[in-house]
Amino acid sequence: MHTNQKCAKTARLTSERTEMELVRILFTAAAVLTGCFFFRLYGLAWINSARLARKLRKQGVRGPPPSLWSGNTSEMHRIQAEAKKRQQQPATILAHDYTSTLFPYFEQWRRRYGSLYMYSTGSRHHLYINDPELVKEMNLLVTLSLGKPTYVTRTLTSMLGNGILRSNGQLWALHRKIIAPEFYMDKVKGMMEIMLQSTQPLLQKWADTVDAQGGLMADIMVDEDLRSLTGDVIARACFGSSYQKGREIFSKLRSLQKVLSSQQGILFSGVPSFRFLMKKKQKEAMRLESEIEGLIWETVKERREKWSETNEKDLLQSILEGAMNDDSHLNADASKKFIVDNCKNIYFAGHESTAVAASWCLMLLALHPEWQDRVRKELSEVCVNGTPDSNSLLQTKEVTLVIQEAMRLYPPGAFVSREVLEETQIGHIVVPKGVYLWTLIPTLHRDVDIWGPDANEFKPERFANGVSKACKVPQAYVPFGLGPRLCLGRNFAMVQMKVLLSLIISKFRFSLSPAYQHSPAYRMIVEPEHGVQIVIHKI
């Protein structure tokens, strides 16, 4: 009996060992098969990338030699790390050229290979184009064969949804058809009173700060005040409500931008990454996305209830009517998605980018007080009692020159980027489907062959006779893009900055604070890393 029990126990243990061994074998086999699948998948992608490279190489396009696994990504990281080590002191303001610090690999390769070269990030192949004639042709092509890079915009889904800033093809064409008319200049002129009203609290706040600090001067960090202002303008224009209603939305969008900016840089994408290590960040982004969409839709519903009570027709109502009346006949769910996504796009583009551009304008004006004097003199000549209003501001020119030059030196958007969705000819180059195109705007805006030997200097007078006379190739000036993809909010942003700067200059003199640290940083857009700090005096 004892022997039988012992045999049974031995048999059971043997069976368990066999089962465990079988599980181990199956797990190992599954892991090997999974690994083989992904290696094969990546291998096919790499082979495709190599094929694209051969097609470009046959046309005389050169570039840094890629490694088998990561392309040029390791080299990009190495060059970036070396540039960071060399940057012991804050960047000099006088040169205004930050490209060698923020994008040193592009600058290094440009010096080595010229204004047209190729590089890869693992399985993705890229074509860098900074030749002005090729940039001109690329931007002016009227085709749906070029779109926003999907691998880049995919990382911004939570920020932008499927709105106009990240859509392609027919969907992008539909968005543009509905939204573009709402930003024509005649519509923007009708929003100037909103801009004037929204700027008054900022002027009063700064005046009160001067009084509180002794009545002579005050040291002010301008960035958050400008974000509040541009947010207020967007909220009033879009929803007909005050900034208080949109404050939470803007705050969460800003938090979401920081989360997305802290993740793997889009310029290094293309190499398999261990995204599971970033689950905490992804969960945070998903939470913020859900909260932002809920807040926007809640505000939309509140506004819709009031449309029948008032005769107001704001930007949101116009977009909604355009979506409902379009031939494509968007259904209820699609209309809701259309509204929410494009509200997020308008918030981001009209709120964040405009505030950052205005910050750079104030920095440059603080550095060049003679241009404050020129703007102030013109305002005194064209404005009744020296107080800017919507009619007189349309006649001013000096502040427009300042904005144009600031947008040349510090364009918020650093790149024009495109994905070739179908084989396309650009100049003498036939670009295969699947290649990604990149133009570094700050480099284009500082090219001495285009702008002359003073390309790195702040000289607004270069625009006195328009962009066509400011440089040799006008299409090389692309702070808002060019051609079919020209930023829809260009008129809105220019008028808003014109109103803001004119009102500030009419009320204050200002200079750079000794505490100001010049350090442009790339966080989806190029912004002052430590903010813009100025010393203001009431006039």
Instruction: Answer whether residue 456 is part of any domain.
Output: yes
Residues 344 and 212 in one domain: yes
CB 424 within 8 A of CB 442: no
Q: What is the pLDDT of residue 246?
A: 67
Q: How confident is the model at residue 150 (pLDDT cuts 50, 70, 90)?
A: confident
Residues 54, 139, single domain; the answer is no
User: Could you tell me if residue 90 is inside a domain?
Assistant: no
Q: Calculate mean pLDDT across residues 132-154.
A: 87
Residue 441 included in any domain: yes
**116 located within any domain:** no
Q: Of 9, 37, 58, which residue sits at a domain end? A: 58
Helices and strands (DSSP H and E) totals, the chain: 23, 12
- Identify whether residues 195 and 52 lie together within a single domain: no
What distance in Å separates the CA atoms of residue 438 and residue 131, rounded to the nearest whole number? 11
Overall average pLDDT of the 227-236 stretch: 87
Q: Is residue 428 part of a domain?
A: yes
Query: Is pLDDT larger for residue 349 or for residue 225?
Result: 225
| Cβ neighbour number for residue 254 with a 10 Å cutoff | 17
Q: Are residues 162 and 285 in the same domain?
A: yes
Is the predicted pLDDT of residue 41 greater than 60, yes or no?
no
Judgement on whether residues 42 and 140 belong to the same structural domain of the protein: no
- Digit-coded pLDDT (tens) for 183-231: 899 989 989 999 999 999 999 999 999 999 988 999 999 999 999 899 8
Helix pair 243-262, 332-347: axis angle to 10 deg: 80
Q: How confident is the model at residue 7 (pLDDT cuts 50, 70, 90)?
A: low
State percent of the chain over pLDDT 90: 44
Q: Residue 28: which domain range?
A: 1-58
Tell which wins on pLDDT, 320 or 139: 139
Q: In total, how many domains does the chain have?
A: 2
Over 60: is that where the pLDDT of 345 sits? yes
Identify the pLDDT of residue 200: 95
User: 189 with 42, same domain?
Assistant: no
Average pLDDT, the chain: 84
Q: Could you tell me which residues are annotated as the binding site?
A: 487
Last residue of a domain, one of 58, 74, 103: 58
User: Can you tell me the mean pLDDT for 52-65?
Assistant: 94
- pLDDT band at residue 10, thresholds of 50, 70 and 90? low
Decide if 109 is inside a domain.
no
Is there a domain that residue 79 lies in? no
Q: How many CB atoms lie within 10 A of CB 399?
A: 27
Does residue 444 or residue 86 have the better pLDDT? 444
- Which residues make up each annotated binding site for heme? 487
Please check whether residues 412 and 498 belong to one and the same domain: yes
Using one digit for the tens of pLDDT, what is the confidence trace for 350-386?
788 899 999 999 999 999 999 999 999 999 999 877 6
Q: How confident is the model at residue 14 (pLDDT cuts 50, 70, 90)?
A: low
The 8-class DSSP code of residue 440 comes to E
Label residue 182 by pLDDT band (50, 70, 90): confident
Q: Interhelix angle for 192-212 vs 490-507, to 10°?
A: 30
Over residues 91-100, mean pLDDT: 74
The residue-averaged pLDDT of 473-496 equals: 90
Q: Are 161 and 43 in a shared domain?
A: no
Last residue of a domain, one of 28, 58, 88: 58
Residues 424 and 529 in one domain: yes
Which tens digit of pLDDT belongs to each residue from 420-443?
999 999 999 999 999 999 999 999
pLDDT, tens digit, for every residue of 270-298? Answer: 544 444 445 777 788 888 888 888 888 88
Residue 476 belongs to domain with CATH number? 1.10.630.10
Residue 65: inside a domain: no
Say what the pLDDT of residue 276 is.
43
Rounded mean pLDDT, 484-511: 93
Which amino acid belongs to residue 36? C
